[in-house]
């Protein structure tokens, strides 16, 4: 049986950072406009260190650089959920 990978992971691989940031901003704008999704917190996981301005524009609750410390990530998820 063939296992499909999540579309987000496939899209992120090999995509230039500036393009990912545009996609992320567009996602966050659509999420904020949808009353059913607006309250869901966002955690950024990235290999490139975003600026504070980028994180503010994304309204990210937290940011983790790869490789991710799993315990810290889980702690953030528990704190936000």
Task: Report yes or no on 25 lying in a domain.
Answer: yes
Task: Report yes or no on 74 lying in a domain.
Answer: yes
pLDDT of residue 14: 59
Q: How many other CB atoms are there within 10 angstroms of residue 45's CB atom?
A: 13
Task: Report yes or no on 51 lying in a domain.
Answer: yes
**pTM beyond cutoff 0.75:** no
Structure token digits, residue 37 = 């999704």
pLDDT, tens digit, 9 for 90 and up, residues 27-81: 888 889 999 989 999 888 888 888 898 888 888 999 999 899 999 999 999 999 8
Task: Report yes or no on 13 lying in a domain.
Answer: yes
pLDDT of residue 54: 86
pLDDT of residue 76: 95
Given a cut of 70, is residue 12 above it in pLDDT?
Answer: no
* Residue 49 lies in domain: 7-80
Domain count, the chain: 1
Kind plus residue range of the DSSP H or E element containing 27: helix 17-33
DSSP track, 4-73: PPPHHHHHHTT--HHHHHHHHHHHHHHHHH-TTTTTS--EEEESS---HHHHHHHT-SEEEESSP-HHHH
């Amino acid at each position: 049986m063939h296992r499909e990978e999540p579309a987000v992971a496939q899209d992120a691989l090999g995509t230039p950072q500036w393009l990912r940031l545009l996609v992320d901003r567009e996602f966050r704008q659509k999420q904020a406009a949808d009353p059913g999704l607006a309250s869901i917190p966002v955690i950024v996981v990235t290999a490139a260190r975003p600026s504070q301005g980028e994180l503010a524009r994304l309204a990210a609750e937290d940011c983790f650089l790869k490789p991710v410390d799993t315990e810290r990530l889980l702690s953030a998820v528990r704190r936000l959920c």
